[in-house]
Amino acid sequence: MSSASKPKSTRNMKSPKSESTGAGTVPSAVQHGGSPLPHPHQPGADPVVVMRALIQRHLVSTLARHTGSATPRDWWIATTLAVRDTIHERLIATQAVHNAQNARRLYYFSLEYLMGRLFGNNLLATGLYDAAKGALESLGQNFEQVREAEVDMGLGNGGLGRLAACFLDSLSTLDYPTLGYGIYYEFGLFKQVFSHGAQVEHPDNWMVFGDPWGIIRPEYTQEIQIYGRVENVFDDRGNSRPRWVETKTILGVPHDIPIAGYGTKTVNLLRLWSSRATEDFDLAAFNRGGYVEAVREKAMGETLSKVLYPNDKTENGKELRLVQQYFFVACSLRDLLRRHFRSPGNSWTNFPEKVAVQLNDTHPAVAIAELMRILLDEHAMAWDPAWDIVTRTFAYTNHTLLPEALEKWSVALFEKVLPRHLQIIYQINDQLMRQVEARWPHDTGKKRVCSLIEEDGHKKVRMANLAVVGSHTVNGVAALHTALLKKSLFPEFDQLYPGKFQNKTNGITPRRWLYKANPRLSALISDKIGHDWVRDLDQLRQLEKWVDDPAFQEAFMAVKRANKADLAAQIKIECGVDVSPDALFDVQIKRLHEYKRQHLNLLHILALYRRLLQNPALDIVPRVFVFAAKAAPGYELAKNIIRAINVVGARINGDARISGKIKVAFLPNYRVSLAERIIPAADLSEQISTAGKEASGTGNMKLALNGALTIGTLDGANVEIREEVGEDNIFIFGLTVEEVEQLHAHGYNPWDIYHRDEELRAVIDWLGSDYFTPGEHGAFGPLHHSLLQAGDPYLVLADFRAYSDCQLRVDELYRNRSAWARQAILNSARCGKFSSDRTIREYANEIWKLSPVPVK
């Protein structure tokens, strides 16, 4: 997106005067290089001038750079440091207020945070965006180019990690005292490149040249134990007590990332742990075996926080992943205990009143066993009061119903890594089995499904069951998902613990996903209804007044077209494909998964291509199919689908016979910053998962908010999007959850559909031939096989015709510009519910019992 192509007014919504290039007051401290420097918010000072001085000073004093030789990266860091000054002041003020009030706090435990870039977001949050832009431009810099120097902080896989990032934004914006805990992975999610259409992974060494946001806090280093064995020792009253011995020690060093709220003084912390080996650790090994073993063990200590596991479906039971989860949880719990007990009035008695811990999926669920261990073994507390504290502290969010995504650890591995925790889990299980017996006497079936230990075959610890039992509240992430959690996944627990299950429909932060990502639409909206929507998304409803106003419709469509022109330029650069901004931009961007059914989209593309080849005069609305998706490196079928889309796309894009009526662009390396470019340019949002499989989806919300119409199944939050935008303003097709269940119950056979539907059969066979990969037979064999021989587990064939027919309705509507504009506007206007501010208020009121603490 070049800044030249943007209307000059887009960032003038609040402070047009700050666009000045330096004619304002120059405070003397700046002029003379004296100290302290003035504040960009200081009354009377021109923020552009102050920012310029701060940037220049950081360039010299921190980066040792002359303005003449500074690179975009230097400018980015210097500007980051300039805004950081303000954020750090607010951070200190915020922590002081929280401490002085001994405020109840939320501790969000997540193995993933997909933060993306922080620069633009923090400039907007602090109100310094215009000042920084003006300052950089007055120094001859291209603001867009400077922003591009920032590498995404991609410490997550997909929806779950991005949700955590949106939540942090809302928590700070709404003044909730919060600390996010996670891991400071040295390598985030892999970088994706395509080689002959196939995904190739490269390491994402995002922090190699430093991270200007992370503040290391060596003084809060934690020491944690793993491995070893449990022995029984006798205390001074002759009671046998377990003692965890011969452990290995790992150090966790925290790095703090400030999270600035928008339009408020609150700055919370994201505290991320990196692992280090201890000196003793070295020495012990050194004395036992010698130098090489010592160094090897040291390397292990430094490995724990090396890399984010790139899976978001199957847990492959890797030891390092379990160690990573425990390392994170143990460091975080110790740190929050230290924080709790440093306030003189605090004790274990008021611990659950001051501390709320939210577990983001089961990944940190070992925290339940760890807090029990601390209470029992380190504080000699009895079981019942300890269990009471634990179950008043934790709450758990479930993000998936897919059985293969539910974490289970082999008992043998658990015993090796965390022997004492396994004992505690068995003890929790004994207690649970007694409850189950009391509720359903002599019912072994109920015991088998509720047990924390899966007994069939290889014994496993079921982390989801542990999380349910050890939490006071369990929530799903969309209404349908929560209903299915209660009805299908955990019906026994729902009966055993009435009221424990709640729904909290996901949300997205409007700051990043509309205000920052789509400056043109933001300016148009603010022009009509003012600026308050940024903190109160329900205000967008006011736009309904203009849905039938031709001038507003035109303005809305002009914004969309300009965003599409920007994306078209990006597609040209990244894919080498020419696309027209006048075509319909049909977008599917998300992790690659069979259940998300990118291959259903592909079959429809093939059908269109075939129709065009058979009738080149066919009148269809020109379309660009935009994809972006990473596949887990070990997920062969997902990689096969990526290659199929790329190879088919290349053939279509190069085929002059169809006169460019359809194009396919698969943008490589999907990440937050790429999503921010694609979403504002989307006309159509593909949300086509098999009903019952997508817990919520959040991309669906981002796209609808930016004026894309949804084509989707009645799955996840699509159901609620339909409720909000109205059924006339969304394209719903396909089997419902009930119909999917029926079909499976009665025996689904994809061959029946294959034989019945001539066009579908033709495109599946076409894909299965070597037409798209000349000389390479069976290139898409895995995909072909999954659709037919393997029984089409995600019902692609069953939904194909409904999908294809629904796409005809999309085509029809797009021909009527005004009708399309009307529906697009209604989508933006009616997405207020999907602000993560609403979600966070619900969590705060109904789960965390947390009150805002404003910082003056």
Written as six digits, the tokens of 512 are 């990043």
357 burial type by CB count under 10 A (0-12 exposed, 13-18 middle, 19+ buried):
buried
Write down the least CB distance from residue 248 to ligand 26W, Å.
Answer: 25
User: Which of the following is catalytic: 473, 690, 698, 710?
Assistant: 698
Measuring CA to CA, which residue among 736, 642, 741 is closest to residue 689? 736
Of the two residues 470 and 697, which places its CB atom closer to ligand 26W in the complex? 697
Q: Is 399 a catalytic residue?
A: yes
Q: Is 698 a catalytic residue?
A: yes
Of the two residues 616 and 634, which places its CB atom closer to ligand 26W in the complex? 634
When asked if residue 315 is in the footprint of ligand 26W (CB under 6 A), the reply is yes
Stretch that binds ligand 26W, among 153-161, 704-712, 718-726, 805-813 (CB under 6 A): 153-161
- CA of 377: how far to CAs of 243, 371, 407, 576, 688, in Å? 8, 10, 27, 62, 50
Collapsing DSSP states into helix, strand and coil, what is residue 24? Answer: coil
The residue with its CB nearest to ligand 26W is: 159
Written as six digits, the tokens of 711 are 């084509």
Collapsing DSSP states into helix, strand and coil, what is residue 237? Answer: coil
Of the two residues 429 and 482, which places its CB atom closer to ligand 26W in the complex? 482
Stretch that binds ligand 26W, among 307-315, 422-430, 740-748, 839-847 (CB under 6 A): 307-315
Q: Is 593 a catalytic residue?
A: no
Stretch that binds ligand 26W, among 31-39, 311-319, 347-355, 622-630 (CB under 6 A): 311-319
Pairwise CA distance, residues 196 & 91, whole Å:
48
160, 168, 464, 682: which one binds ligand 26W (CB under 6 A): 160
- Return phi, psi of residue 301, to 5°: -60, -30
Write down the least CB distance from residue 565 to ligand 26W, Å.
Answer: 30
When asked if residue 150 is in the footprint of ligand 26W (CB under 6 A), the reply is no
366, 461, 695, 767: which one binds ligand 26W (CB under 6 A): 695
Residues with Cβ within 8 Å of residue 47, at least 6 apart in sequence: 15, 18, 40, 41, 128, 130, 131, 134
Of the two residues 27 and 159, which places its CB atom closer to ligand 26W in the complex? 159
User: Which of the following is catalytic: 590, 599, 604, 693?
Assistant: 590
Of the two residues 387 and 501, which places its CB atom closer to ligand 26W in the complex? 501
DSSP annotation of 514 reads: I
Written as six digits, the tokens of 115 are 């933060």
| Amino acid type, 366 | V
Number of residues that bind ligand 26W (CB under 6 A): 21
222, 429, 588, 696: which one binds ligand 26W (CB under 6 A): 696
Pairwise CA distance, residues 367 & 353, whole Å:
18
Q: Is 590 a catalytic residue?
A: yes
What character string, x for contact with ligand 26W (CB under 6 A) and - otherwise, covers 705-734?
-----------x------------------
Q: Is 66 a catalytic residue?
A: no
- Residue 381: in which H helix or E strand, if any? none
Give, as ranges, the residues between 452 and 481 that touch ligand 26W (CB under 6 A).
Answer: 477
- CA of 568: how far to CAs of 211, 581, 620, 682, in Å? 31, 6, 20, 11
Core vs surface per residue 713-747: b (16+ CB within 10 A) or e: bbbbbbbbbbebbeeebbbbbbbbbebbeeeeeee
| Amino acid type, 482 | T
94, 222, 698, 827: which one binds ligand 26W (CB under 6 A): 698
User: Which of the following is catalytic: 354, 591, 599, 822?
Assistant: 591
When asked if residue 509 is in the footprint of ligand 26W (CB under 6 A), the reply is no
Stretch that binds ligand 26W, among 72-80, 151-159, 487-495, 812-820 (CB under 6 A): 151-159
Give, as ranges, the residues between 204 and 263 that touch ligand 26W (CB under 6 A).
Answer: none
Give, as ranges, the residues between 34 and 53 that touch ligand 26W (CB under 6 A).
Answer: none
Of the two residues 405 and 575, which places its CB atom closer to ligand 26W in the complex? 405
Pairwise CA distance, residues 451 & 466, whole Å:
9
When asked if residue 688 is in the footprint of ligand 26W (CB under 6 A), the reply is no
46, 297, 312, 586: which one binds ligand 26W (CB under 6 A): 312
When asked if residue 158 is in the footprint of ligand 26W (CB under 6 A), the reply is yes
Pairwise CA distance, residues 664 & 675, whole Å:
17
80, 122, 157, 509: which one binds ligand 26W (CB under 6 A): 157
The answer to whether residues 665 and 580 touch, using CB atoms and an 8 Å cutoff, is no
Core vs surface per residue 306-320: b (16+ CB within 10 A) or e: bbbbbbbbebeeeee
169, 361, 586, 720: which one binds ligand 26W (CB under 6 A): 361
- Residue 423: in which H helix or E strand, if any? helix 419-439
Of the two residues 114 and 132, which places its CB atom closer to ligand 26W in the complex? 114
Pairwise CA distance, residues 279 & 262, whole Å:
43
Of the two residues 69 and 316, which places its CB atom closer to ligand 26W in the complex? 316
Helices (DSSP H) in 471-590: which residue ranges? 479-484, 491-496, 510, 519-529, 550-575
DSSP annotation of 845 reads: I
Stretch that binds ligand 26W, among 180-188, 416-424, 577-585, 695-703 (CB under 6 A): 695-703
In which residue are the tokens 């259940």 written? Answer: 595
Collapsing DSSP states into helix, strand and coil, what is residue 511? Answer: helix
User: Which of the following is catalytic: 596, 599, 604, 693?
Assistant: 596
Collapsing DSSP states into helix, strand and coil, what is residue 690? Answer: coil
What character string, x for contact with ligand 26W (CB under 6 A) and - otherwise, covers 382-421?
-----------------xx----x----------------
Active-site annotation, residues: 399, 590-591, 596, 698, 702
Binding footprint of ligand 26W on the chain (CB under 6 A): 157-160, 163, 311-312, 314-315, 361, 399-400, 405, 477, 506, 694-698, 716
